[in-house]
Amino acid sequence: MSSEWTQSTLGEFVRLQRGHDLTASEQQAGSIPIMGSAGPNGTHSEALAHGPGVVIGRSGASAGRVHFSEVDYWPHNTCLYVTDFLGNNPRFAYYLLQTLDLAAFNSGSAQPSLNRNYLYSISLKIPPRAAQDGIVDVLKSLDDRITLLRETNATLEAIAQALFKSWFVDFDPVRAKMEGRAPKGMDEATTALFPDALEAAADGEIPAGWHMQPIRELVADVFDGPHATPPEADAGPVFLGIKNLTGTGLALADIRHINEDDWLKWTKRVVPQAGDIVFSYEATLGFFALIPSGLRCCLGRRLALIRPKANEGAGHFWFHQFTAAPFQRLLVKHTVPGATVNRIALKEFPSYHVLVPPVALQMAFDTVASALWAKIHENQAQAQTLSTLRDTLLPRLISGQLRLPEAQATTEAAVGGALQA
């Protein structure tokens, strides 16, 4: 297969142009994605480039990162974008560019910056268009399945969050019983766990018999992460960052690995375990995630860990308790005045009060939520397996080291297995 490939340069493969300025005052409401150095960054009312399109981070920490847009977009001046694919498959160009160490072509300024003329000289080996299309089919089938798994998880997380909000934030079952109605979609045993009245509390009405309690009485401990970042490794334990916290789940598509020695050093205070709740207490305030089983990881900067008490066994209840909107508002309420970035004083966090229903009701919620989260964690594992396969196949396919039929067979088996699970 690779004998039909031609020797070329990046400048002969695609044509690049610097993106265009767009100030905050010029940005207008619309659905057109703005593509910048780090990928999608807001929307605008006007497009300057047609999709499918490819952009390369031009400046800053994201210089050299490659992003793809299926639709028309506005290329921001922090990126370079492809203006002409010169007959090549746009998605193949996206995959190929990912295999290049583009950041190494820094133009030499103090701030990392890429110049298209520097990049044009990069030597490439390009397959015929038919082979490009075949490679894209293989890699895109993996990307599509990974996307579907993540979208499914987002739906499952939303279902669990909606149930929690109905029961413990809006008190829908309590209000239904107050009106003499049976709570919608709830069996008699669960219905009996809810009171039929509200009573006054410091921050408003709460269900009768429920109470406010400081976090310190409800969790085994709270730990914060280090205030530095260890060197990155090609493989090993995961070093969690705020970017890995989606607001409910744990995103492992863009992770940082550290070596074993650093992991031992960074986990002296606490080794994260399944059921622990990680949240950001500084900068991007209030993002959360539940640690899944089997993940060896440590806390990154600006992250803290809550370990619920094990004796009550309501881990998913507490996860949703700490991700509910009222709790996030509680964090905002306690931000340190005058700080340059949003943050809370973590030492005061255990003194915050949260609403506590009876343990039996916590457990009832956990029974429902556990099934949802078991599927979420299963999907996460499948997505990670497929991501690893894609990352393994990508450089071998792009370089011609792997024959397309072999890659197709491997991919079909992996995607088929994921669909049956």
- In this predicted structure, the answer to whether residue 255 has a pLDDT above a threshold of 90 is no
pLDDT of residue 2: 60
pLDDT of residue 312: 57
- In this predicted structure, the answer to whether residue 250 has a pLDDT above a threshold of 80 is no
Which residue would you say has higher pLDDT here, 279 or 251? 279
Which residue would you say has higher pLDDT here, 133 or 292? 133
pLDDT of residue 260: 92
For the stretch 398-421, pLDDT in tens is 988 888 888 888 888 887 765 555
Average pLDDT over the chain, rounded to whole? 87
Q: How confident is the model at residue 154 (pLDDT cuts 50, 70, 90)?
A: confident
Which residue would you say has higher pLDDT here, 72 or 107? 72
pLDDT of residue 330: 79
Which residue would you say has higher pLDDT here, 336 or 61? 336
pLDDT of residue 176: 96
pLDDT of residue 109: 60
Give percent of the chain above pLDDT 90.
44
For the stretch 339-388, pLDDT in tens is 778 888 888 988 988 888 998 998 899 888 888 888 988 898 898 889 88
State which of 64-73, 100-109, 210-219 shows the largest mean pLDDT. 64-73
- In this predicted structure, the answer to whether residue 201 has a pLDDT above a threshold of 60 is yes
- Residue with structure tokens 């690995």? 257
For the stretch 311-332, pLDDT in tens is 556 667 777 777 767 777 778 8
pLDDT of residue 248: 57
